[in-house]
Each structure stands twice: as structure tokens, then as C-alpha cells.
Amino acid sequence: MAGVSPSTLRLWESQDLIQPIRTATGQRLYDRALMDRLKRIAWLRSERGLNPAAIRETLRDAILEVDEEIGEAEDDAADVRPGTRIRRLRRDAGKTLENVAQATGVSVSQLSTFERTSQGLSFTALHEVARHLGTTLASLSGQEEGRGGESLIRDGKWASWPTTSSGVVVQVLAEGQNLMECNRFQLAPGASSEGAYQHEGEEFIHMLSGSLEIILDGDKFFELNAGDSFYFESRRPHSWRNVSSGETVLIWINTPATF
């Protein structure tokens, strides 16, 4: 439909010209807006002869113009997807896509895609954007809604965070505005945080199955297996990935609610 080969699509993705939507299993999806972007990239490349850097700049300006045109237009109040929440927070703070991109290191195209689809950002990138806008991943997911107090969730009845990162499923074990954020992580083979992040608080992990590699401070490696438990301070830069050949499942608790 775009008139280019699969290898060209992968090249453009590596050059940050296009950020396709990813399913939980990593499959790339292209909606109408992304298809239009692909066609424009192909035209700029073939008809204008622009290199990747010039194409990125041209597309960035187009995204910013569209966002400016939208201006203060209100979103559907019933739309509580993480991307929509991020857009509202950004506009309420008087920030442009470019402001947030410069502060977080996430590209304008990735931010624009996420605001529209709630997909396209890594776990780490989303954490950085949320922190910059004064919120948390738990709040974006709707986990903190409700009064707190008692929270009984039956086996297998966990609500899941909206899927944003490939292969990462986060299920809520305690709902409401609590001092502890209690979640069940389900990680597909190879799923990871895609970078390190940090925040205030303390963290506790208990492994149910599989194997998880935790990296603290960039140079301290810990491999956790089924039955293992691990505690660390959240202010230490940390990243993680599933290092088993199958699914890894774990309980992850953060306190206070800064995640």
C-alpha cells in the first residue's frame, strides 16, 4: 500500500521516521494515520530527494502544526486511555509535543503516536514522560481510581493496565489510592523495560515462574528465578528483562505510590 519493501519499513523504523503500533506479541500494526505518514515519507524521499534527517524535520514540523491546530480542543471525557490522559496533562501544563520531547528524549513522532493510540513508547520512555508531567504509570492506568481501603480481587480476575509495551502485561492486585502499588507482571520471552528508570521509594519482587534479570546502577546484575525474592531502593537506576525462553511471571510491589 505504501509502495515500499518490508526491509525499507524496518530501515525507516530504525531511523525514527515511523513508529508502528506494536501488539503484545510484537507484531507491527499501521493505522490510517501511520499509512498516510508512510506515503509522505516515500514522497519526500523519491520526489524531494530528502535524506532521513531532513524527512524527520519535515514530519516533525507537520506534527507540531497539527497539534497546534487542535489547540485547546477537548478530548472525549469518556476516553481514559493512557495516551489521551497524557495529552490532557500535557495541554493542561501548557506544553507542546516538542517541549516534552526535549525534556524526556522521546521523539515528537513517538509522543504523537502514543497520544493517538496509547502505544509506541517503551516502558522506560513512558515512565519518563509520566514523571515529567507529574504523574505515574499507575495513575495513567487507572489503578489509583477509587477510595482505597479494602481491595479483594479473586484469582484470575485482575484488571490489566492498557498494553503499551511489547510483551509486557501488568495486572493490578490491589485497587485504589494505596501506599503500596501491588502488581502482577507477565513478561513474554525477551520482554524488557527497554532502558533504565528511577523514582522515589522501595521495591519488592517475588518470582512466580521464569527468570528475570535486574540491572541496578548500570553495572550490578542479578538473575532471579522462580521462588526468589528481591528488594531494592527505587531511586537506583534499574532496568529488567525476561531472560528465560518462556513466559516469566512475578509479583512486583512499589511503595510509596511513585511508580
pLDDT digits (tens, 9 = 90+) for 126-168: 888 988 998 888 787 776 665 556 788 899 888 877 676 678 8
What percentage of the chain exceeds 70 in pLDDT? Answer: 87
Q: In this model, does residue 217 exceed pLDDT 50?
A: yes
For residue 63, the tally of other CB atoms under 10 A from its CB is 20
Q: Residue 124's pLDDT is what?
A: 84
Domain boundary among 135, 159, 190: 135
Query: Is 176 in the same domain as 124?
Result: no
Q: Residue 145's pLDDT is what?
A: 63
Query: Is 213 in the same domain as 106?
Result: no
Q: Residue 72's pLDDT is what?
A: 46
Query: Is 162 in the same domain as 95?
Result: no
Cα 131 to Cα 255: distance, rounded to the nearest angstrom: 16
Q: Is residue 162 part of a domain?
A: yes
pTM, two decimal places: 0.66
Query: Is 102 in the same domain as 206?
Result: no
Query: Is 115 in the same domain as 218?
Result: no
Q: Is residue 144 part of a domain?
A: no
Q: Is residue 198 part of a domain?
A: yes
Query: Is 125 in the same domain as 179?
Result: no
What percentage of the chain exceeds 90 in pLDDT? Answer: 29
Identify the band that residue 32 occupies on the pLDDT scale cut at 50, 70 and 90.
Answer: confident
Domain boundary among 71, 102, 135: 135
Q: Which domain holds residue 197?
A: 149-255
- Give the alpha-carbon dihedral of 157, 158, 164, 169, to 10 degrees: -90
Q: Residue 254's pLDDT is what?
A: 93
Query: Is 131 in the same domain as 165?
Result: no
Q: How many domains does the chain have?
A: 2
Query: Is 67 in the same domain as 127?
Result: yes
Q: Residue 132's pLDDT is what?
A: 92
Q: Residue 54's pLDDT is what?
A: 85
pLDDT digits (tens, 9 = 90+) for 45-54: 888 888 888 8
Q: Is residue 140 part of a domain?
A: no
Of residues 131 and 57, more confidently modeled: 131
Of residues 128 and 72, more confidently modeled: 128
Q: In this model, does residue 62 exceed pLDDT 70?
A: no
pLDDT digits (tens, 9 = 90+) for 163-215: 766 788 889 898 887 888 899 999 999 899 888 999 999 999 999 999 999 99
Q: Is residue 141 part of a domain?
A: no
- CATH number of residue 52's parent domain: 1.10.260.40
Identify the band that residue 64 occupies on the pLDDT scale cut at 50, 70 and 90.
Answer: low
For residue 186, the tally of other CB atoms under 10 A from its CB is 21
Cα 139 to Cα 226: distance, rounded to the nearest angstrom: 29
- CATH number of residue 185's parent domain: 2.60.120.10
Domain boundary among 135, 163, 185: 135
Q: In this model, does residue 234 exceed pLDDT 90?
A: yes
Query: Is 11 in the same domain as 113?
Result: yes
Query: Is 109 in the same domain as 191?
Result: no
User: Residues 56-76: what's their mean pLDDT?
Assistant: 61
User: Residues 226-235: what's their mean pLDDT?
Assistant: 97
Query: Is 74 in the same domain as 190?
Result: no
Q: Residue 30's pLDDT is what?
A: 85
